[in-house]
Structure 1
Amino acid sequence: MKYMGANELRDTYLKFFEEKDHLKLESFPLVPKNDKGLLLINAGMAPLKPYFTGVQTPPRKRITTCQKCIRTGDIENVGKTSRHGTFFEMLGNFSFGDYFKEEIISWAWEFITETLAVPKDKLYVTIYLEDDEAFDIWCSKTDVDPKRIFRLGKEDNFWEIGVGPCGPCTEIHFDRGNGSITTVEEFLKASDEDRVVEFWNLVFTQFDKDEEGNYNKLAKPNIDTGMGLERIATIMQGVNNIFEIDTVKNIVKKVSELSAINYGDDAIKDISLRIITDHVKSVTMLISDGVQPSNEGRGYVLRRLLRRAARHGRVLGIKGLFLKDIVDSVVENYREAYPKLKEDKEYIEKIISLEEERFNETIDAGMNILAGYIVELEALKETVLKGEKAFKLYDTYGFPIELTEEILEEKGISVDKEAFILEMNNQRQRARSARGESSYMGSDENPINKIDASINTEFVGYFETEIEAKVVALADDKEMKGELVKGEKGYIVTDSTTFYAEMGGQVGDRGIIISESGEAYVYNTKKNVGGKIIHYVEVKSGNIKKDQKVSLKVEIDRRSNICKNHTATHMLHEALKEVVGKHVNQAGSYVDDERLRFDFAHFKGLTEEELERVETLVNRKIMGVFGVNTNLMTIEEAKNSGAMALFDDKYGDKVRVVSIGEFSKELCGGTHVKNAGEIGLFKIVGESGVAAGMRRIEAVTALNAMKYMEEKEKTLKEACNVLKCTEKDILKKIVSQSTEIKEKEKEILELKNKITSGAEGDILNSAKIIKGVKVISYALKDVDGNALRDLADKIRNKMESGVVVLVSNVNDKVNLIAMATKDAVESGVHCGKIIKDVAAIVGGGGGGRPDMAQAGGKNPENVTKAVETTFDIVEKLVK
């Protein structure tokens, strides 16, 4: 058995199966498509599910891949065990109704024992308890010792997820120990102790499990295998930990350099080194595949991983931002398999820096909140922090529970861990509910998603807007149907169509479908999970029947406007590259008949000058009346011609390349104008940030652009009438009035300060003594928040000892503030609790620290009651 690096192993595996007539596909992005049940791709077969279910026809019956995967279910074990990681690569080979058990078992044994030269006396095989066929094949088609084959139950050697395709599996294991294992009991014990490691699972998908739990035989069984690249690399490199294989070890080394901590010197610090290594690797892959940090979904997974890595940097004593410095090592070790990482490196580093910086701010805020909790607990002489509060720190401020426990332990305080776990479980349940129930494909169980893969619709909408076609399928939300009648909503599939289905950011077409017996309005056009074009219809008269001949007519004016906006989107993309920088890449778009929206990677808002230059460049190219040409090419021909391709799109053998003169060239399946001059006018109407490192431009074209300009002109004229000036003088008039308003505001502020200063004596004289504590509760009028806070601070200083609560009615809203001296807090006064109860009386809420708190309310009619109640609240608090 020779040493093999991870990159060499990957290539060796893929080439082996290419020689067995498998089509090698590049890894799909980590973001799944048409799979509502998956947040992120978590297995090699996950992107291929449409081929297994028959809703899509695979490009070849034999496929092999090395698939990027993310799993966070065992995130708490990452770094602590030898085999857990959030990012991993899954080597796989798949058969869609072609070969079956005999071929894959033979090939698997050949690859392991001959290509990799793994010693046979180090290998064990497990099969499903009842799978005699697999046992016979292992014994007759390979030279494995039958004594090294163990039969296990359903839990270990049968693969199924709810209903749908499933079947028994056989697994291949490597023995890292010495001596022979002779019984199932010995094997299971060795497996539990990590002496025996499973590294390749061969799934025989031969059944279709129905809702009643019956296992129905598939007419064409499939093969689905998965071998963890990291697992096999540990075997081939003679190491026991996935963090010690060559590609990952190189990243660990970089983290060690940044932290000045040698890997292997300290077992506890090694955990942090491994967590940072794994998480930065995952974050790099996620960002490259278009995931942005956010507080929900896959964006939350990214944010959680990044913040967890940053937190462990603090544990190791790393100062400042450091995560971006690890990206270079990740790219260097993985760019051979994923060359896009190198292209995206600068962008990835910027996103990570922005998010790490934001985390540093939130974790500091979390420290302040935790400090407040500690003061409260100490004042109440309590030693357990409520689980709800620990969860709030975790959920709102990204504050790891371990850090909360560590800080509290120094103060002799613990966390109600059971309540914390309950909150965590509730959150997971909410997330599951938000995703909804799903099928094997993760899609809704709409009958239209189950159309047979053999049904195809020819799209002719690039050239025609009205055609004759045949209805090949009809359905409503419950079942496939023979007809749809007046008043019914449903779905129509035809053998050809001129309706464009929503894709690539372009909305679906609308129009009508007419048969000899009825008419239906097409209110949307989309593709189902199998990629079939579906017309969403409402029958307006008569009926539409299966197998009928029908006329399809697209709304021409709407399509025309969509085309203008789509072509303008391409021009905007190129203009941004020229004006802002070549790093600008499309991250998403939306094109309908009214406007266009374009999202792109950039790290700061565009200046007015940049926006003006972009807009002018697009309009100059429109006025150049360049022809818009479309050519079909192979993907390689397209890339060699300089055409831009979107980061997450999978392309077929032939692609459409849309060229706008010599200005723009992109791969695109959408509809476009024939000449750029048709767009007429391009106007940017908005630029904003949508996520860290992500900007959005919105624009209008043609008549909508003219309408936008006319509305602006109308507003300008109305403003001139109000200000009583000409358009030429409007700016001068606004500046003059702004200066005048500021002077008046200054006068008003000075008057307010005089009023509040004059009230100081009355406020101080209103003090009462409650259980030995001086208490002031006083109502004012028209004193804003800032002035109220300054006044309260002055009163507290002049009191020397006690608590002051001020309430002010301003514009039918209530401001409240409470401040207390140190000795008053020690006697039991807590401003946060006072203000919370007082604010409730005036219809508001708020809180704060023991020595200072503020709030607002919306019921000024209760101000007097709020003032009077303050004394009762203080009396209950004072010891």
Structure 2
Amino acid sequence: MNSVEIRKRFLSWFAERGHAVLPSSSLVPANDPTLFFTNAGMVQFKDIFTGAQRSEHRRATTSQKCMRVSGKHNDLENVGRTRRHHTLFEMLGNFSFGDYFKEEAIPFAWDLLTRGYGIEKERLWVTIFESDDEAAEIWMKKVGVPAERVQRLGAKDNFWSMGDTGPCGPCTEIHYDFGPEISDDTRGPAGGDDRYVEIWNLVFMQYDQAADGTRTNLPRPSIDTGMGLERLATVLQRKLTNYDTDLFQPLIQQAAELSGVPYGRDAEHDVAMRVIADHARAAAFLVADGVMPSNEERGYVLRRVMRRAIRYGVKLGMSKPFLYKSADRVVSMMGADYPELIERRSFIQEVIRGEEERFSETLDKGLALLDRELEQRPAVLHGDVVFKLHDTFGFPTDLTELIAAERGIEVDMAGYKTSMEAQKAKARASWKGSGEQAVPELHRELANIFDATEFLGYTAEHASATVQAILRDGERVASLEAGERGQIIVSETPFYAESGGQVGDHGEILFDGGRFEVTDTQKGHGDLVVHIGQLIEGTLRESQKVRLVVDSERRDRTRLNHTATHLLHAALRQVLGDHVMQKGSSVDPNRLRFDFSHHKPMTAHELQEVEEIVYRNILANEAVSADVMPIEEARALGAMALFGEKYGDNVRVIRVGDYSKELCGGTHTKRSGDIGLFRVLSESGVAAGVRRVEAVTGIEALRFTRERDAGAAAAADRLRVPVQQLDDAVERLQSDRRRLEKELEAARRELARATAGDVLARAKEINGVKVLALEIPGDATTLRDEADRLRDQLGSGLVVLGSRSTGAVLVIAAATKDLAGKRVHAGNIVRELARMVGGGGGGRPDMAQAGGPNIDALPDALERVYALVQG
């Protein structure tokens, strides 16, 4: 049975038993600051299990793409070396949200494995939590598993919790016995031998754990199960390792073809091909989900994974980019089940190939750094150097050790590990996660008391309601007095709470004898809407009848920007390509900001084209419609969704004519023509692979246009040309400036030569070495050229030149080959001089450069050269 059939049978088996088949969520968790990546099937249901969100289904089943390459699940160094460690994997799961429990979950799993997949019952072992007599009875009496194949284990192996507090419970695991081919151990899973492999874990969420460790029964126990597709495929395809299944073999064989190295003949070569196969899968899925290689957070993990694969490719003799080809094979293999791979196919290839090309340059720089360090013949290569090679240049430590060993130099691996741990600690401290901020505990309590606030703002900007709760200084209070700040929760509201990038509404809450000014509106827990502001007059009490009035002028300007954002998104995809995905947005009354995935700056022509497309759609005055429909219908319609967002069965689709279709809960104009005017303010980069466009609409766009026109008119007036000829006039100015700068630099060079020309006689002989140190005018190029010329004229010696012409200190040191690294070291000398001028620098034994801000220290620094050579 191939992997496609295995996945399909799992989902259809549970669909036939009343489970809703739901799509995999993104590898980037939605609104979960605690996770780098989705690492289990239950992640997308976390809020349901904790009670923060109501489920639209009582039963569900998924095949969830997962990543385990950071935190406690960091399997990276084991990938390729063991039978079953991976970065990316698929978790098959079935879930019950307060519906069925152990008595159904256990038979479901057993029947699917033995009847649905045909696995021999004698090969299956079961572990349960040591005190879970209920599960033991179901396994032995209802299912019929012999008592000797049901083993009780402790909390470390068979008790699951989401954290220190919250839902938790015992679990039962089903293990497959791979038989005596692996070992002759007959103790079962409890013995810990690799012969017995866990294939399915069934978690019984039946307790709520408090901070003090006490547990109470949950009112609605739930089920969360997970089974790795890769392990199941190994069992069903009669293999001994996951890498021998059809999920990996096509990729491994491709690596063998690309490298010309056969698979299965050399253990280290096999590891390399397994790593490439695994990491190509991870890279393809991560890029498809909007993660871009970078030096921070998720992007850093992707970069590490890709560079590890590339390094192993180099070990196989592949010097040209290859990983993008492996990733494209992943798209071909898995695109039918994960359509986002097909949709972003060309983008995936482009991003991965670009990273490969950049890393090739980085590897060369790493080798150069290692060569420089080893040229100094240290007894031990310091751990911080090994760490820099690994962290900055992606150098594998074993390669560093190998090169050092060839020169008889030991490597300080203890120091390397210390630096690595320090970096991990720093990363943990800086990681703040993504998504919504932590919800105050009081909001959670209120969500258990009140129903979700009904939002009336799509059709109304004022409404009557009842005050349900008043919060002040983090506590619930019975009333609020004039002058006090607080938060108000009501039964229904026309106020839009900040979400989807749109800011919250402002306005007033009115009541007999009083007024509360709303300065922000936010979402609380459980879809409660929290009105934040200050009581201007009167006394406001719980249960009081109030009138809510939205600031309509502010709302109208926000509407313009939100609808314009949708048009901008569609235009960017039209001009740049379908790889463009929204990475964030901010829509307020004054401007809009749109962040999107794109790997290079936009050209002026592209920006102009985008602006014109948006404006043409504004002039068309298309109708803007909002329709609620099943999510499948919205997808069939081609509506764009925020990748990684959670959506229910029914979604709201905003359409601007036939041009733009997006899932959105925000407020919008009635027609595109209401926007009036649209102008792009700027385009910039905000992170690796993420660009940002800022724009204005309506009256703000008119103001921007007037200001720019006024600026152009003023510049034209100063240059004494018509506005229409301003570009030509500026170009002439720039051309004149470039010409004058060249003439000035030529004059500086002549002055430098004149200054340095007669100074060879001033060279001092120190310990048999001719040393010349002096100040001349010029930039870095001038100093380097003169240092080379004077060094050649010295024949044998050291030349150090300094300059203050650029407003800062610049120092160049050049030593002849016969002395470099033996009697003098240019890099060491400039490092000492850099310290004196308050800067930094370094370089090779024969040529080095330094700089610093302290221009007054240059004469002393140059005089110091002679003492340094003296020793």
Provide the TM-score with structure 2 as the length reference. Answer: 0.94
Structure 1 524/33 Cα, relative in aligned 2: closer, same or farther at 3 Å?
farther
Q: Secondary structure at the match of 2:293?
A: coil
Shift, 1:449, TM fit: 4.5
Q: Secondary structure at the match of 1:810?
A: coil
Contact 1:347 1:601 in 2 (8 A): no
Structure 1 805/469 Cα, relative in aligned 2: closer, same or farther at 3 Å?
same
Deviation digits for residues 294-338 of structure 1 (CA, Å, limit 9, x no counterpart)? 211111111111111111111111131111111232122212321
The amino acid that maps onto 2:145 is V
Q: Secondary structure at the match of 1:456?
A: coil
The amino acid that maps onto 1:420 is Y
In structure 2, the residue matched to 1:216 is 216
2:126 is equivalent to residue 125 of structure 1 = yes
Contact 1:448 1:475 in 2 (8 A): no
The amino acid that maps onto 1:683 is R
The amino acid that maps onto 2:317 is G
2:36 is equivalent to residue 39 of structure 1 = yes
2:165 is equivalent to residue 163 of structure 1 = yes
Shift, 1:201, TM fit: 1.1
Contact 2:166 2:209 in 1 (8 A): yes
Contact 1:34 1:529 in 2 (8 A): no
| Superposition map of 1:393-472 within 5 A | 393-435=389-431, 443=438, 446-449=441-444, 451-452=446-447, 455-472=451-468
Structure 1 363/105 Cα, relative in aligned 2: closer, same or farther at 3 Å?
same
Structure 1 610/253 Cα, relative in aligned 2: closer, same or farther at 3 Å?
same
2:850 is equivalent to residue 848 of structure 1 = no
Distance 1:646 1:733 in 2: 46
Shift, 1:75, TM fit: 0.4
| Superposition map of 1:454-603 within 5 A | 455-475=451-471, 478-483=474-479, 491-516=487-512, 519-528=515-524, 530-540=526-536, 544-581=540-577, 584-602=580-598
Distance 1:653 1:356 in 2: 40
Mean CA deviation greater in 67-76 or 159-168: 159-168
2:790 is equivalent to residue 795 of structure 1 = yes
2:799 is equivalent to residue 808 of structure 1 = no
In structure 2, the residue matched to 1:751 is 747
Contact 2:439 2:525 in 1 (8 A): no
The amino acid that maps onto 2:245 is I
Shift, 1:639, TM fit: 3.6
2:394 is equivalent to residue 392 of structure 1 = no
Q: Secondary structure at the match of 1:281?
A: helix
In structure 1, the residue matched to 2:239 is 239
Distance 1:778 1:620 in 2: 65
In structure 2, the residue matched to 1:196 is 196
Deviation digits for residues 801-842 of structure 1 (CA, Å, limit 9, x no counterpart)? 111111211254211111111222243311112111112212
Shift, 1:543, TM fit: 5.4
Mean CA deviation greater in 735-744 or 307-316: 735-744
In structure 2, the residue matched to 1:97 is 98
Structure 1 305/785 Cα, relative in aligned 2: closer, same or farther at 3 Å?
same
In structure 2, the residue matched to 1:260 is 260
Identity, % of aligned pairs? 45
The amino acid that maps onto 2:244 is E
In structure 2, the residue matched to 1:76 is 77
The amino acid that maps onto 1:79 is G
2:330 is equivalent to residue 333 of structure 1 = no
Structure 1 89/535 Cα, relative in aligned 2: closer, same or farther at 3 Å?
farther
Distance 2:52 2:844 in 1: 60
Structure 1 647/743 Cα, relative in aligned 2: closer, same or farther at 3 Å?
closer
In structure 2, the residue matched to 1:352 is 352
Distance 1:304 1:483 in 2: 55
Deviation digits for residues 684-725 of structure 1 (CA, Å, limit 9, x no counterpart)? 222344556554332211111111111112211222333233
In structure 2, the residue matched to 1:186 is 187
**1:722 equivalent among 718, 724, 749:** 718
Shift, 1:137, TM fit: 1.9
Q: Secondary structure at the match of 1:499?
A: coil
Contact 1:263 1:270 in 2 (8 A): yes
Q: Secondary structure at the match of 1:822?
A: coil
| Superposition map of 1:298-317 within 5 A | 298-317=298-317
Q: Secondary structure at the match of 1:135?
A: helix
Distance 1:612 1:414 in 2: 58
Structure 1 874/109 Cα, relative in aligned 2: closer, same or farther at 3 Å?
same
Distance 1:476 1:364 in 2: 60
The amino acid that maps onto 1:304 is R
| Superposition map of 1:574-653 within 5 A | 574-581=570-577, 584-602=580-598, 604-653=600-649
Contact 2:297 2:431 in 1 (8 A): no
Contact 2:36 2:433 in 1 (8 A): no
Shift, 1:475, TM fit: 4.2
Distance 1:80 1:181 in 2: 18
Contact 2:272 2:315 in 1 (8 A): yes
Contact 2:480 2:540 in 1 (8 A): yes
Contact 1:52 1:222 in 2 (8 A): yes
| Superposition map of 1:248-287 within 5 A | 248-287=248-287
Deviation digits for residues 509-542 of structure 1 (CA, Å, limit 9, x no counterpart)? 2333345575444333333464443334455555
In structure 2, the residue matched to 1:116 is 117
Distance 2:633 2:187 in 1: 58
Q: Secondary structure at the match of 1:90?
A: strand
Structure 1 215/634 Cα, relative in aligned 2: closer, same or farther at 3 Å?
closer
Structure 1 327/180 Cα, relative in aligned 2: closer, same or farther at 3 Å?
closer
RMSD of Structure 2 on Structure 1 (CA):
2.7
Mean CA deviation greater in 197-206 or 628-637: 628-637
Distance 1:449 1:406 in 2: 57
Shift, 1:646, TM fit: 3.8
Shift, 1:139, TM fit: 2.0
Distance 1:76 1:233 in 2: 23
**2:60 equivalent among 63, 68, 83:** 63
Shift, 1:274, TM fit: 0.5
Distance 1:393 1:543 in 2: 66
In structure 2, the residue matched to 1:25 is 22
In structure 2, the residue matched to 1:174 is 176
Contact 2:7 2:63 in 1 (8 A): yes
Structure 1 91/873 Cα, relative in aligned 2: closer, same or farther at 3 Å?
same
In structure 1, the residue matched to 2:362 is 362
In structure 2, the residue matched to 1:6 is 3
Gaps of 5+ in 2: none
2:45 is equivalent to residue 48 of structure 1 = yes
Structure 1 832/760 Cα, relative in aligned 2: closer, same or farther at 3 Å?
same
Distance 1:181 1:364 in 2: 45
Distance 1:404 1:570 in 2: 51
Shift, 1:682, TM fit: 1.0
Structure 1 207/487 Cα, relative in aligned 2: closer, same or farther at 3 Å?
farther
**1:869 equivalent among 859, 864, 868:** 864
Shift, 1:277, TM fit: 0.6
In structure 2, the residue matched to 1:774 is 770
Structure 1 446/800 Cα, relative in aligned 2: closer, same or farther at 3 Å?
farther
Deviation digits for residues 710-767 of structure 1 (CA, Å, limit 9, x no counterpart)? 1112211222333233324433433333343333323322321221111224432222
Structure 1 625/415 Cα, relative in aligned 2: closer, same or farther at 3 Å?
same
In structure 2, the residue matched to 1:708 is 704
Distance 1:722 1:599 in 2: 37
Contact 1:247 1:334 in 2 (8 A): no
Q: Secondary structure at the match of 1:823?
A: coil
Structure 1 357/779 Cα, relative in aligned 2: closer, same or farther at 3 Å?
same
Deviation digits for residues 323-381 of structure 1 (CA, Å, limit 9, x no counterpart)? 111123212221232122112111111111111111112222212111111112x1xxx
Mean CA deviation greater in 131-140 or 315-324: 131-140
Gaps of 5+ in 1: none
Shift, 1:259, TM fit: 1.6
Deviation digits for residues 145-177 of structure 1 (CA, Å, limit 9, x no counterpart)? 112111111211111232222111111111111
Structure 1 44/687 Cα, relative in aligned 2: closer, same or farther at 3 Å?
same
Distance 1:252 1:520 in 2: 66
Q: Secondary structure at the match of 1:293?
A: coil
Shift, 1:851, TM fit: 1.2
Distance 1:634 1:497 in 2: 25
The amino acid that maps onto 1:225 is T
Structure 1 520/316 Cα, relative in aligned 2: closer, same or farther at 3 Å?
farther
